[in-house]
Homo-oligomer: A and B are copies of this chain.
Amino acid sequence: MPKNIKKIGVLTSGGDSPGMNAAIRSVVRACAYHNIECAGIYRGFEGLIDGDFKLMDARSVKGIINKGGTILKTARSKEFRTKEGRQKAFNNLVKAEIEGLVVVGGDGSFTGAMVLNKEFDFPVVGIPGTIDNDIFGTTHTLGFDTALNTVVDAIDKIRDTASSHNRLFFIEVMGRDVGHIALNAGIAGGAEEILIPEEDLGLDRLVDSLNKSRKSGKTSSIVIVAEGDKIGKNIFELKDYVDENMEGYDVRVSVLGHMQRGGAPSCFDRVLASRMGVKAVESLLEGKSNYMVGLLGGKMELTHLDKAIKGKTKINLELLRVSDIMST
């Protein structure tokens, strides 16, 4: 039988992503709706250890649904990796009479939540907040859609100058382990080639492909490169290689960097955050623990945190093929 939870805590952890504030708002309002208290915990697991908590009522989260970043701040906590740190965190939770915890973050944050749950049998539910879309158990992580629009907007701008100058641009986007941002934004930005961690195209094929593009009448080109591309060279080395092995193009590099994490969340991410916050709170109230809420088949579904972390998200092969056809 579900425990009768009267107070829930919420924290954001790891890299921030657009929509985290909307998720906080949703958790807070869902608590208010169910007449239970909600405590915001600052700076992720750091704040848990420091007891940096604040009671939040429905009005305290007004005006944040459209704000990037996280009002609760986020951090990576070394101390939480020690048994002592986690003991402090648990003691603080008990002292504050918090009986369930919603953790918004990526796989590192979920690992922290799982350990807390394992060691102290403390109820936890995760909300996948990361722009990388690399969490199993949800078709979309919070912030992925917004980041895609940010990246595509930047590519559009760079294309203006690329096509005015007949230039070739290498644009680096986020994604150390997965190429979801590169692949989607590459198709949407009309990239000629997309280099992702999942696939080693090889330098020769890249140059071949760019040469083919030129011959087909293209006077400028854009190549999207995921941070974690497996071609074995960083983006500046790529530029040098192409400079040396291809004629006719003026080659430039642009690293989009941290702006990809910020900005007002898209409609999609705001709705997703609102749904996930409600589902997370109600799952805790139903006595569930150790789950992540996710979007599957358009519905809110639960996946074991363990599976969410270890499971792999795969590149959609159809998208790779579409990208290929579009660069005809």
Q: Nearest B residue to A30 by beta-carbon distance?
A: B325
Chain B, residue nearest A298 (CB):
B139
A66, A149, A151, A262 — most chain B CB neighbours (10 Å): A262
Beta-carbon contact of A73 and B166 below 8 Å:
yes
Q: Which of A177-206 contact B (CB under 8 A)?
A: 184-185, 187-190
CB-CB contacts of A108-120 with B at 8 A, as 1s and 0s? 0000000000000
> Using Cβ atoms and an 8 Å threshold, which residues of chain B touch A25?
326
In the complex where A150-B157, A188-B65 touch, is A322 in contact with B275 (Cβ < 8 A)?
Answer: yes
Known: A163-B69, A254-B259, A267-B148. A318 touches B299 (CB 8 A): yes
In the complex, the chain B residue whose C-beta lies closest to that of A43 is B166
Cα–Cα, bound, A190→B29 (Å): 12
Q: Which residues of B contact A59 (CB under 8 A)?
A: 216-218
Closest to A63 in B: B163
A209 at the interface (CB under 8 A from B): no
**B-contacting residues, A148-165, CB 8 Å:** 148-152, 154, 156-165
A70: CB under 8 A from chain B? yes
| A68 close to B (CB within 8 Å) | yes
Decide if A264 touches B66 in the complex (CB within 8 Å). no
| Least CB distance, A156 to chain B, in whole angstroms | 5
Please judge, given known A-B contacts A157-B263, A262-B159, A263-B160, whether A165 and B74 are in contact too, CB under 8 Å.
yes
Question: Residues of B contacting A69 with CB < 8 Å?
Answer: 159-161, 163-164
From known contacts A74-B164, A149-B149, A263-B156, infer whether A187 and B318 are also in contact, taking CB-CB under 8 Å.
no
Chain B residues whose C-beta falls within 8 Å of the C-beta of A33 in the assembled complex: 325, 328
Interface presence of A67 (CB below 8 A)? yes
Q: Are the CB atoms of A157 and B270 closer together than 8 Å?
A: no
Chain B residues, Cβ within 8 Å of A318: 275, 299-300
* Docked-complex contact B68 and A157, CB < 8 angstroms: yes
Q: How far is the CA of A326 from the CA of B15 in the complex (A)?
A: 25
Of B20, B68, B160, the contact of A261 (CB 8 Å cutoff): B160
